[in-house]
Every structure is written in C-alpha cells, then in structure tokens.
Amino acid sequence: MERLLSARLLRMLRRIRRPKKPAQIGKHLDKRSVVTILETIQKSAAWLERHGVPSPRLQAECLLAHALGLKRLELYLKFDQVVPEPALEQMRMLLRRRAAREPLQHLVGTTAFADFELLTTPQALIPRPETELLLEHASRWLKERLAEPGAPAQPVLLDWGTGSGCLAIGLARQFPAALVTAVDISSEALSLARQNADKNGVSDRIHFLLGDGFAALPSEARFDLVVANPPYIPSAEIQQLEPEVRDHDPRLALDGGPDGLDFYRRLAGEGLRRLTDGGSLWLELGHGQAAQVCQIFESSGWRVIALELDYQRIERVLGVWPATKG
C-alpha cells in the first residue's frame, strides 16, 4: 500500500508545474557561466534583436569591445578567449540600457566623425553621417575658394549652432590657418564642444561663443564660410522619432518649429550681411525640405550654388551665396 501511495504521490508532483524563472538579460551572462567572446556576442545580439534594437550584432560587438577596453575589430582575433567576470557584469548593465533604447554612443561615450573621435553626452545632438557630408562639401568649396587669386590667407569661418563641435573641429583640422568661431545657445553643448576641441588638439584655434546664432556675434563680424546644421524636425513629428533620438537628443537641437523651417528662415534673413565678399553658407537639410528651403533662400536674396545628395539619394546639403554674386 505504501508503495502504491508513493507512486501516486510521485505522479501528482510531476503534474505540478514549476514556476517559471524571471526573465534574465541573457542567460549566457549568468554569473556562474564561463563564456567566450564569440558566445557573448552571439547571445547578446540575439537579446538586442528581441528588444527591437537595430543592427544588433554590430551593437553587441561595440558594447563588448567597450567593456573589454578593446577596438571592435580586435574581438575577431580573440573569439575563443573567456570574458572576465568584471567585463561580463559591465556587459549586463550595458545590455539592459541598450535594450531600453539608450543610444550606443551615450553608453560608450564616444563616436567617430569624419577622421576623428568625439565625446558624446545627452547635452548635444549625436553627430550623424549626413553631417559628415556637410563638412565634406563645405570643405571642398573652401579649398577651391582659397586656391583663387586674391583669396584670404587666413579664412574666417563660423559654425552656427555648433552642438558637439563636430563641424568647427573638422574645419579647424583641415584648415590650420583659419580663424574658426563656434556659437551655440546651449551652455551645456558649448561645454561639450570645448572638451571635444581639446581632445582633438584644436581648442586654441576655435573661439566659442554662447548665444543665439548671429546675435551672439560682434556686429562687425564677417565670414568667408558659414556652416549650419540647424534644428529641422517639425514640432509635431518629434514624438514619432526613434526612442534613441526622441528621448535622448536635446529637443533644442531637434525642434525646427511647426513646419521644421524656422531656422532656415532666420539664416536666410540674417546671414547675407554676415558674409565677406565671395563668402558662402552651407546647410544640412531635413528629408523632403530641399525645395522649400531653396525657395526661402532665393526669395531672400540668395543664389543656390550646390544641392548635394546623401547616401540614400536624399537632397541633404545646400550651398548658397548672395544672388548679387552672379
């Protein structure tokens, strides 16, 4: 009888469903595990993909490289190495934050721009590849301008709304003789821009000014080149942006007013008297804004000299100068 009861009890216990363990961020990163670099990348990428993070494999590699203090490509030479526990613990934290859609650049603290590196914080817009194109086209124009007879030996340049300082630093690196001014309305962004200038060895060649665009400048200031990546997202569309942008980039750097064109109107209305003879203004454009922005400038006394496409064949970079130039 005892044997029969024991058998029945065993069958009953087997029917009882064990409670599920709470979801963990990557069982492969359990503290009792010994995992290699390759296993950590694979499992982390799968975790990020389940949370809707774009390019999960690349993101996992960047996060693990940061946790290990390596360059990303160095991981490929060390796939079989075991990840130390301190790095695993940091990786767990990074994965949680990235799955919550905190930007990769904020997690690792830096980003590549053109041929140099920048510090990144929530105090300024994270530089995009499209802005690299703005730097590229504006720099090409300036090189051609400086090769002309009578060109200034020491060109005077302005980064209008510098943010992280990416454009001002890029110009200072390419044109060592130039006098570069960088202006921004945000003291926090300007502080980051100064740090980035120091990091890239050009802080002694950039004059940083706190203030609202041209109003921050001396009335007599004139420039051979002005570059600007103004806020251009229509106010009502900001809530539809990806969480990395909507929740972590400063709204001040995004909001271009009801139609996204407020700052283009300001630049068109105030910029003419800020150029030297032969000077030009180069701008980044939002998606689908080229025709309207061109019309704004042409109706304000400017002439379009260039309209360049980005990597997705979107009209992204506009170059203009005074219509009286011909």
Name the token pair of 74.
């160095």
> Do you know the residue count of the chain?
326
pLDDT of residue 11: 47
Query: Do the domains 111-325 and 25-100 match in fold?
Result: no
Q: What is the pLDDT of residues 151-203, one digit of tens each?
A: 999 999 999 999 999 999 999 999 999 999 999 999 999 999 999 999 999 99
pLDDT of residue 325: 72
Answer whether residue 13 shows pLDDT above 50.
no
* CATH of the domain spanning 25-100, picked from 1.10.8.10, 3.40.50.2000, 2.40.50.140, 3.30.70.380: 1.10.8.10
Bridge partners (DSSP) of residue 181 are: 158, 207
pLDDT of residue 20: 38
Q: Which amino acid is at 30?
A: D
List Cα–Cα distances, 196 to 31, 175, 189, 203, in angstroms. 37, 17, 11, 8
Give the predicted TM-score (pTM) of the model: 0.88
What is the β-pairing status of strands 179-184 and 156-160? parallel
Average pLDDT over residues 292-319: 97
Three-class SS of residue 109?
coil
Query: In CATH, what number does 111-325 get?
Result: 3.40.50.150
Count other C-beta atoms under 10 Å from residue 177's C-beta.
10
Count other C-beta atoms under 10 Å from residue 151's C-beta.
13
Q: What is the pLDDT of residues 63-117, one digit of tens each?
A: 999 999 999 999 999 999 999 999 999 999 999 999 999 999 999 999 999 999 9
List Cα–Cα distances, 104 to 62, 63, 120, in angstroms. 8, 8, 10
In whole angstroms, give the CA distance from residue 305 to residue 312. Answer: 21
What is the band of 30 on the pLDDT scale with cuts at 50, 70, 90?
A: low
Q: What is the pLDDT of residues 123-150, one digit of tens each?
A: 999 999 999 999 999 999 999 999 999 8
pLDDT of residue 300: 97
Specify burial of residue 83 (Cβ count, 10 A radius: 0-12, 13-18, 19+): buried
- Proportion of the chain above pLDDT 70, given as a percent: 90
Q: Sketch the domain layout of the chain as residue ranges.
A: 25-100, 111-325
Three-state SS annotation for 60-75: HHHHHHHHHCCCHHHH
pLDDT of residue 7: 47
Greatest C-alpha distance within the chain: 111
